[in-house]
Amino acid sequence: MKTSKRLFTSFIICLLFSSIFAFETKVINTTDLEVWLTVFQGDSAQELHVAPKSEKTFSYELIDPDNIKYNLSWGSDNNCWWGFAEGPITEANTWEPGYAFKQYDFSFFSLTKQEKSAVSTMIRTTYIGFTEMKEKGFKLKMIDECQNVGELFALLDKYVFDYHFSITIDRGEKGCLEWKFKNLVTDEKSKKSIDPIVTYFEKATSNAYYIRFNSCSESTKDFNNPYWKEFPRAASKACKYDYIVLDPRSNNGGGQMQQVRFFESLINKNYKGKIYILQDKYSFSAAEMWMIAGKYVNKLDITTVGTFTGGMQRYGECKSIHKNNVWGWIPTIICGIPDDGKWKGEGVGYEPDVFAYTEEIKGVLTGFGVDMTGIEIQ
Instruction: Encode pLDDT of 170-180 as tens digits.
Output: 887 666 788 98
Residue 44 has pLDDT above 80, yes or no: no
pLDDT of residue 364: 98
| C-alpha to C-alpha distances, 176 to 105, 149, 336, nearest whole angstrom | 13, 11, 33
Residue 140, domain member (yes or no) = yes
Top pLDDT among 37 and 374 is at 374
pLDDT winner (highest mean) among 67-81, 182-196, 225-239: 225-239
pLDDT score for 3:
36
User: What's the pTM value of the predicted model, to 2 decimals?
Assistant: 0.69
Residues 250 and 361 in one domain: yes
**pLDDT for the residue numbered 9:** 35
CA 190/CA 124 separation, integer angstroms: 37
CA distance 294 to 275: 12
Region 17-25 average pLDDT = 28
Residue 365 predicted with pLDDT over 50? yes
Residue 63: exposure state from Cβ atoms within 10 A (0-12, 13-18, ≥19): middle
Question: Is 154 in the same domain as 223?
Answer: no
Q: Which domain holds residue 150?
A: 106-180
What integer is the mean pLDDT of 264-282? 96
| 249 and 355 part of one domain | yes
Is the same domain home to 163 and 273? no
Boundary (domain end) residue, out of 180, 214, 235: 180
Q: How far apart are CA 318 and CA 314, in angstroms?
A: 12
Q: Is the pLDDT of residue 5 over 60?
A: no
Residues 168 and 300 in one domain: no
pLDDT number for residue 107: 77
224 compared with 341, residue with greater pLDDT? 341
Last residue of a domain, one of 180, 214, 241: 180
Q: Say yes or no: 217 and 308 in one domain.
A: yes
Residues 359 and 226 in one domain: yes
Which CATH number do you get for residue 280? 3.90.226.10
Comparing 7-11, 349-353, 370-374, the range with the smallest average pLDDT is: 7-11
| Most confident by average pLDDT, 108-112, 126-130, 227-231 | 126-130
Are residues 232 and 270 located together in one domain of the fold?
A: yes
pLDDT at site 218: 67
How many domains, the chain? 3
Over residues 201-217, the mean pLDDT reads 93
Residue among 247, 244, 245 nearest 280 (CA): 247
Q: Is the pLDDT of residue 302 over 60?
A: yes
Question: What's the pLDDT score for residue 223?
Answer: 53
Dihedral of the alpha carbons of 199, 202, 203, 206, in degrees to the nearest 10: 150
pLDDT, residue 178, reads 85
Bigger pLDDT: 279 vs 25: 279
Please state, in angstroms and rounded to a whole number, the distance separating the CA atoms of residues 46 and 36: 10
